[in-house]
């Protein structure tokens, strides 16, 4: 069981929008910034969003992040088949003194 | 170009030991915290350890007492000494660099090295 809870899968058609939720608690999301990672099939994870809502250079603005209380959300607009990947949220847990990841969400672009 | 290259993975028997290495390039290694993250086949990401710039270390309960993270700044290298290995430690192990700023995130990842624990 992951400390952070994500839906196992989401799907949407090309061009549509999808959101992926990440639910935690006051000891993790409620007390630290959230980052999101994209893992394309067979590759290493890549940073997608940091500090809740910031995009690294090179990440298109189709990707967005937000946080409210003990939950965070990743949004992807204008879906493309190349967005099919696993997406993970992550943050620091002050009670565990440990980094924690969500269980991951598999995005399918139908 | 910022790059992390892991090595040292392989097949090891249960109860055995293995040392992973990660060589960094393209940034001032000594200025950044570093992490190890693993992923079993078909499973999610699991944080394994972290080390700060002064050498402070952090571990989750699943590996505490068995794994030791260390760094050698003169060689731009990060290490993970793993002992008392179990079948459930079988995974791809990634080295990751902490991003800049006051909050923790991992902005650069290596391609990973595979560890298989089996008799």
Residue B46 has pLDDT above 80, yes or no: yes
Which of B37, B43, B45 would you mutate first to test chain A, the one with the most A CBs within 10 A? Answer: B45
What is the band of B100 on the pLDDT scale with cuts at 50, 70, 90?
Answer: confident
pLDDT computed for residue B9 by the predictor: 97
CA distance B58 to B86: 20
CA dihedral A53, A58, A60, A64 (to 10 degrees): -10
Q: Which residues of chain A register pLDDT less than 70?
A: none
Cα–Cα distance measured from residue A30 to residue A28, given in angstroms and rounded to the nearest whole number: 5
Which residues in chain B are closer than 8 Å to A91, comparing Cβ atoms?
A: 104
- Under the banding of pLDDT at 50, 70 and 90, the label for residue B111 is very high
Chain B residues lying within 8 Å of A103, measured CB to CB: 44
**CB of B72 less than 8 A from some CB of A:** no
Q: Which of A50, A88, A96 faces B44 most closely, judged by CB atoms?
A: A88
pLDDT band for position B103 (50/70/90)? Answer: confident
**Residue B101's pLDDT is what?**
78
Place B17 in a pLDDT band, splitting at 50, 70 and 90.
very high
Residue B101 and residue A9: Cα distance in Å, rounded? 31
Q: What is the 8-class DSSP label of residue A34?
A: -
pLDDT computed for residue B77 by the predictor? 98
Q: Which of B46, B103, B109 lies closest to A51 in CB terms?
A: B103
Distances, alpha carbon A58 to alpha carbons A80, A100, B11, B32, B111, in Å: 16, 25, 37, 22, 19
Q: Considering chain B, what percentage of its residues have pLDDT values greater than 90? A: 95
- CB-based contact B50 A100, cutoff 8 Å: no
Q: What is the mean pLDDT of chain B?
A: 96
- Closest CB to A88 among B45, B94, B112: B45
- Please count the residue pairs, one from chain A and one from chain B, whose beta carbons lie less than 8 angstroms apart: 70
Q: What is the pLDDT of residue B23?
A: 98
* Residue B26: pLDDT over 90: yes
């Amino acid at each position: 069981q992951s400390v952070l809870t994500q839906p196992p899968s989401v799907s949407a058609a090309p061009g549509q929008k999808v959101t992926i939720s990440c639910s935690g608690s006051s000891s993790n999301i409620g007390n630290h910034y959230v980052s999101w990672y994209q893992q394309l099939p067979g590759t290493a994870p890549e940073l997608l969003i940091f500090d809740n809502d910031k995009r690294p250079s090179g990440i298109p603005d189709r990707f967005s992040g937000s946080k409210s209380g003990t939950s965070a959300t990743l949004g992807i607009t204008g879906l493309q088949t190349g967005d099919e990947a696993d997406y993970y949220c992550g943050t620091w847990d002050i009670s565990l003194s440990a980094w924690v990841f969500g269980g991951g969400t598999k995005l399918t672009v139908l | 170009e910022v790059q992390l290259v892991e090595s040292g993975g392989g097949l090891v028997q249960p109860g055995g030991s293995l040392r992973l290495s990660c060589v960094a390039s393209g940034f001032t290694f000594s200025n950044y915290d570093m992490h190890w993250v693993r992923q079993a086949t078909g499973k999610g990401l699991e944080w394994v350890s972290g080390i700060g710039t002064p050498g402070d270390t952090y571990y989750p309960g699943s590996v505490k007492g068995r794994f030791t993270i260390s760094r050698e700044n003169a060689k731009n290298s990060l290490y993970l000494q793993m002992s008392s290995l179990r079948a459930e430690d079988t995974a791809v192990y990634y080295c990751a660099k902490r991003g800049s700023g006051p909050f923790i995130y991992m902005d650069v990842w290596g391609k990973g090295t595979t560890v298989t624990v089996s008799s």
